[in-house]
Structures are given as structure tokens and as C-alpha cells.
Amino acid sequence: MLLLIELTGVSKVYQSKDSVVHALRDIDLKVEKGEIFGIIGHSGAGKSTLLRCVNLLEKPTSGTVKVGDVVMTGLSEKELQERRKKIGMIFQHFNLLSTATVRENIAFPLKISKYPKKAIKQRVDELLELVGLAEHGDKYPAQLSGGQKQRVGIARALANDPDVLLSDEATSALDPQTTDSILELLLDINRKLGITILLITHEMHVIRAICDRVAVMEQGRIIESGEVLDVFLNPQHATTKEFVSQVSEELDTEILRSKAEGRIVRIHYMGEMAYEPILYETVRATDATFVILQGTVSRMKETPYGQLIVELRGSQEDTDQIIERLRSRGLEVNIIL
């Protein structure tokens, strides 16, 4: 495991004459090189503060921040400005220069870094192609859609060939279809460039679509973290369960209880098992039957994932045997009723 971002004991306190606000409380966070790591939480949970502590736009009150082999919290202001060039940032509201063209917006950080004109043109051309805006280079932000503006923001964040891309609610101002296209772009960038992405969001759909791991925040603390599939399938904290419910169909257990003739179970499939007739084969080996009450097959990043709500009708012995055999095949089976 090669770590690219490491926060140790990071706290952030805002103090005024009348109040003290603990925005972050003793945060420990490790992000591996090349992964997409998501941080989810409600407004005020501390997500944005945490993200801005990575590039020290917010300076921690205590604790250390390390990016690559550099301890960010130990740098002088001049050293910090230089190091920030390798940490790209995408903003929720794009932050584009309205009087500059798309090309000029993307070139802006390169001009500040005093790149030669020829190198700037070449880099901007590459980035326009990468984000799908090759034909829009001479347009102004007012002539672009929200999704196109965010693509410009992403290209600008990549201009200095960063090691890390920080995404601050990059899709929350966009409609669902445009959100999906931006998430696909971020995933494509991660695959092609191997760039590490740390993103914050309040939408579980974003986490499920592209993240490898996730941390859930509440009141300035990380309350739960792990592989996205693990957290999604087995959320521990009430806040995590609330977020997971955003992308899970609700099950009315009272209606099921009144209609059920057998045992109702929830079966989770992962990987290629989502497309195999495991349930049919397992039930066929007994005298029981089954009824599918609800089912979905989707993907979490690149992993197929399926969920079935099934009523097993048969003897206690047969249904116990079915559940045991399904679990022995690596499926997660939860008894609902």
C-alpha cells in the first residue's frame, strides 16, 4: 500500500469573541495512491474543511498533513505555494474567469507557472481533448452549459499535471444526467492518468458510482469508513444507513408481513455472481419454492452488484438449507421476516 495523502490527528477550531466551533476533531485519514476516495456527510459535517486542509487552504489547528513524501504542515508559505501546483482542485461553482475564453481559463495556472507559450498551447490542446471540449476552446463561460463549465474546471485543475485532484462537491450544482457524465469523466481521468482523487459529496450515488473507499463524517469526526461495497452492504452508523437509503429501494415490511406465506430474505450478489442462476440452482435442490418480491442489478464503480428480496416457501429445514448453501457460495443473506 502506497499512501499519497495522510492526515494524522487533524483538528480545526474556529474561535471568535463569542464562540468556539470545532470544525474537525482528531481526524485520521489515509488515501492510497491511484484510488478514488469519497468523503460523505451532511452540511456542516466538516467535509469542506477537511478537503481544504489537504492543500492547506485551511491550516489545521493541530495535527499533520502529508501529501506524497511532503509534510504540508511543515512548509513555509513560499514552499506551500509551490507544492500546491501539484494538487489540483475542482470547485462546486466552477470559479471560471468570465472574461476569458475556455483556452485562457485552462492556460491560467500554466501562465502563472511561467510555462513557455508553445508548451502552454500543447498542454491546453491535450486537456481540451481529454475533457471533450476540443471544439469549444474559443468560447466564453457564458456560452457553455453547466456540465461544460465543470469540464473546463477539471481541465484547469489538471493543467499542472498534479498528483492529487481534490473535488469539492463538483456535481452538486448539476442535473442527474450531467452529473453522471462528469463522474464518468473523473473515472476516465483516474484510469488514464492514475491520478489520486479525493472528493466530498452529500450524495451516495456519487460514492457508489466511482469511489473505491469512503469515509462518513458527522460533527467534525469520521464515524465510519471502509471499502464502498462493505460500507454499502453493512452500514453500522445511523447516518451511514441514511445515506445508503438514498440509493436503496425502501422495503415496506408491514405489507410483506401481512402477505408473506414463507420466510423473506434479502440476498446480496457481488461480482459476476450477480448474473448467475445461483438462487434457482440452490432452491431446485430442495422441495421449496421461491418468489422474487424485489430485485436490482447495478454497479458500484466497476463491480456488478445485485440485490434480491425473496420469499422462500417450504419447510423450516429446506429454507434453512437454502440460506446456508447461499452463504457458503459467498452470498450475503439477511433474514427480514
Nearest CA to 158 out of 94, 109, 207 is that of: 109
The answer to whether residues 268 and 186 belong to one domain is: no
Q: How confident is the model at residue 257 (pLDDT cuts 50, 70, 90)?
A: low
Q: What is the pLDDT of residues 300-312, one digit of tens each?
A: 777 777 788 888 9
Cell of 68: 506524497
- pLDDT greater than 90 at residue 335: no
CATH number at 207 reads: 3.40.50.300
Q: What is the mean pLDDT of residues 92-119?
A: 93
- pLDDT greater than 60 at residue 251: no
- pLDDT greater than 80 at residue 255: no
Last residue within a domain, chosen from 246, 270, 285: 246
The answer to whether residues 271 and 123 belong to one domain is: no
Query: Can you tell me whether residue 232 is helix, strand or coil?
Result: helix
The answer to whether residues 125 and 206 belong to one domain is: yes
Put the strands of the sheet holding 36-40 in their side by side order. Answer: 87-90, 164-168, 196-201, 36-40, 213-218, 221-227
Q: How confident is the model at residue 276 (pLDDT cuts 50, 70, 90)?
A: confident
Residue that has been written with the C-alpha cell 487533524 in this structure: 10
Q: What is the pLDDT of residues 15-24, one digit of tens each?
A: 988 889 999 9
Contact (Cβ atoms closer than 8 angstroms) between residue 12 and residue 52:
no
The answer to whether residues 34 and 54 belong to one domain is: yes
Q: Could you give the angle at the alpha carbon of 58 between the alpha carbons of 52 and 64, nearest 5°? A: 90
Nearest CA to 283 out of 329, 334, 336 is that of: 329
The answer to whether residues 106 and 21 belong to one domain is: yes
The answer to whether residues 167 and 295 belong to one domain is: no
The answer to whether residues 37 and 156 belong to one domain is: yes
DSSP labels, 75-134: --HHHHHHHGGGEEEE-TT----TTS-HHHHHHHHHHHTT--HHHHHHHHHHHHHHTT-T
Separation of alpha carbons 112 and 318, rounded Å: 71
- Round to the nearest angstrom and report the end-to-end CA distance of the chain: 42
| Cβ atoms within 10 Å of 212's Cβ, excluding its own | 20
Q: Compare 202 and 305 and report the one with higher pLDDT.
A: 202
The answer to whether residues 184 and 331 belong to one domain is: no
Last residue within a domain, chosen from 246, 274, 300: 246
Residues 6+ apart with CB under 8 A from 124: 103, 106, 107, 110, 137, 155, 159
Give pLDDT, residue 254: 56
Separation of alpha carbons 65 and 63, rounded Å: 7
Tell me how many domains the chain contains: 2
- Give the range among 159-168, 198-207, 220-229, 290-299 with minimum mean pLDDT: 290-299
- pLDDT greater than 80 at residue 261: no
C-alpha to C-alpha distances, 169 to 70, 127, 200, nearest whole angstrom? 26, 21, 6
- pLDDT greater than 60 at residue 253: no
Q: Is the pTM of this model over 0.85?
A: no
Give pLDDT, residue 16: 84
Separation of alpha carbons 224 and 240, rounded Å: 8
Last residue within a domain, chosen from 246, 269, 293: 246
Q: What is the pLDDT of residues 220-244, one digit of tens each?
A: 999 999 999 888 878 899 999 898 8
The answer to whether residues 296 and 239 belong to one domain is: no
- Provide the residue type at 66 as one letter: K
Q: What is the pLDDT of residues 21-60, one digit of tens each?
A: 999 999 999 999 999 999 999 999 999 999 999 999 999 9
Radius of gyration over every alpha carbon of the chain, rounded to an integer in angstroms: 24
Q: How confident is the model at residue 1 (pLDDT cuts 50, 70, 90)?
A: low
Domain enclosing residue 279, as ranges: 253-335
DSSP labels, 66-78: EETTEEGGG--HH
CATH number at 323 reads: 3.30.70.260
- pLDDT greater than 60 at residue 176: yes
The answer to whether residues 239 and 264 belong to one domain is: no
The answer to whether residues 200 and 259 belong to one domain is: no
The answer to whether residues 26 and 83 belong to one domain is: yes
